[in-house]
Chain A
Amino acid sequence: MKPVNQKAWLLILPVVLCVAFSAILPLMTVVNYSVQDIISPERRVFVGTEWFKSVMRDEDLQGALLRQMTFSLAVLLVEIPLGIALALSMPAKGWKSSAVLVLVAISLLIPWNVVGTIWQIFGRVDIGLMGAALAALGFDYSYTGNASDAWFTVLLMDVWHWTPLVALLCFAGLRAIPDAYYQAASIDGASKFAVFRYIQLPKLRGVLMIAVLLRFMDSFMIYTEPFVLTGGGPGNATTFLSQYLTQKAVGQFDLGPAAAFSLIYFLIILLLCFILYNWMQRVGTADKTGAGHG
Chain B
Amino acid sequence: MARIALDLAHSYLRNPQRDEDYALLPLRMTFEDGGAYALLGPSGCGKTTLLNLVSGLVSPSQGTVTFGERDVTRQSPQQRNIAQVFQFPVIYDTMTVAENLAFPLRNRGVPADRIRQRVGKVAEMLELSGQLDLRASGLAADAKQKISLGRGLVREDVSAVLFDEPLTVIDPHLKWQLRRKLKQIHQELALTLIYVTHDQVEALTFAQQVVVMTRGRAVQVGTASELFERPRHTFVGNFIGSPGMNFLAARCSGRGIEVAGHTLQMPAPAAALSAAGEFTLGVRPEYVSLAAADDPAAVPAKVVQRQDIGTYWLLTARCGEALLRARLDPESAVPGLGEQVWLKVVGPHTCYYGRDEELIAGAERVAEVPA
**Which residues on A are within 8 Å of B, measured CB to CB?**
178, 180-181, 183-184, 186-191, 194, 198-199, 202-203, 284-289, 291-292, 294
A289 with B133: in contact, given A180-B88, A284-B93 (CB under 8 Å)? yes
Q: Which residue of B lies closest to A201 (CB)?
A: B94
Interface contact A188-B151, CB-CB below 8 Å: yes
Interface contact B78-A189, CB-CB below 8 Å: yes
* Interface SS majority for chain A: loop
Interface contact B86-A183, CB-CB below 8 Å: yes
Cα distance A286–B93 when bound, in Å?
11
State which of A180, A183, A186, A190 has its C-beta within 8 Å of the C-beta of B103.
Answer: A190
Cα distance A78–B324 when bound, in Å?
74
Interface contact A186-B135, CB-CB below 8 Å: no
Interface contact B137-A183, CB-CB below 8 Å: no
Tell which of A187, A194, A199 has the most Cβ of chain B within 10 Å: A187
Cα distance A199–B57 when bound, in Å?
18
A184 with B148: in contact, given A189-B107, A189-B108, A202-B94 (CB under 8 Å)? yes
> What are 16 A-B residue pairs whose CB atoms fall within 8 Å in the complex?
A180-B86, A183-B84, A183-B90, A184-B84, A184-B86, A186-B77, A187-B104, A187-B152, A189-B78, A189-B107, A203-B93, A284-B94, A286-B135, A287-B96, A287-B133, A289-B133
Cα distance A191–B76 when bound, in Å?
13
With A183-B86, A187-B57 given, name 11 new contacts (CB 8 A): A180-B90, A183-B90, A184-B148, A187-B78, A198-B92, A198-B94, A202-B93, A284-B93, A285-B135, A291-B133, A292-B134
Interface residues on B, range: 20 to 34
B179: min CB distance to chain A, Å: 21
Interface contact A199-B86, CB-CB below 8 Å: no
Total A-B residue pairs with C-beta atoms closer than 8 Å? 72
Cα distance A294–B137 when bound, in Å?
10
Interface string of B294-311 (1 = CB under 8 A from A): 000000000000000000
Interface string of B74-95 (1 = CB under 8 A from A): 0011100011101110101111
Interface string of B103-139 (1 = CB under 8 A from A): 1100110000000000000000000000001110110
B55 proximal to A (CB < 8 A): yes
B87 / chain A contacts, CB cutoff of 8 Å: 180
Cα distance A202–B204 when bound, in Å?
39
B165: min CB distance to chain A, Å: 12
* Interface SS majority for chain B: mixed
Q: Which residue of A lies closest to B108 (CB)?
A: A189
B280: min CB distance to chain A, Å: 41
Cα distance A187–B148 when bound, in Å?
11
Interface contact A183-B108, CB-CB below 8 Å: no
B298: min CB distance to chain A, Å: 53
B155: min CB distance to chain A, Å: 9
B103 / chain A contacts, CB cutoff of 8 Å: 188, 190, 198
Tell which of A180, A191, A202, A291 has the most Cβ of chain B within 10 Å: A180
Which 9 pairs of residues, A with B, have the shortest CB-CB distance? A189-B107, A184-B90, A188-B104, A202-B93, A294-B138, A180-B86, A198-B92, A189-B78, A202-B94
Q: Which residue of A lies closest to B95 (CB)?
A: A198
Interface contact B92-A202, CB-CB below 8 Å: yes
B133 / chain A contacts, CB cutoff of 8 Å: 287-289, 291
Interface contact B135-A288, CB-CB below 8 Å: yes
B133: min CB distance to chain A, Å: 5
Interface contact B77-A288, CB-CB below 8 Å: no
B264: min CB distance to chain A, Å: 54
Interface contact A191-B94, CB-CB below 8 Å: no
Interface contact B93-A189, CB-CB below 8 Å: no
A286 / chain B contacts, CB cutoff of 8 Å: 135
Interface contact B90-A181, CB-CB below 8 Å: yes
Q: Which residue of A lies closest to B109 (CB)?
A: A189
B167: min CB distance to chain A, Å: 15
Interface contact B82-A187, CB-CB below 8 Å: yes
State which of A189, A199, A285, A287 has its C-beta within 8 Å of the C-beta of B92.
Answer: A199
Interface contact B107-A190, CB-CB below 8 Å: yes
State which of A180, A191, A198, A287 has its C-beta within 8 Å of the C-beta of B135.
Answer: A287
Cα distance A285–B107 when bound, in Å?
23
Cα distance A178–B267 when bound, in Å?
56
B55 / chain A contacts, CB cutoff of 8 Å: 187
Cα distance A200–B178 when bound, in Å?
30
Cα distance A206–B55 when bound, in Å?
32
Q: Which residue of A lies closest to B98 (CB)?
A: A288
A199 / chain B contacts, CB cutoff of 8 Å: 92
A191 / chain B contacts, CB cutoff of 8 Å: 107
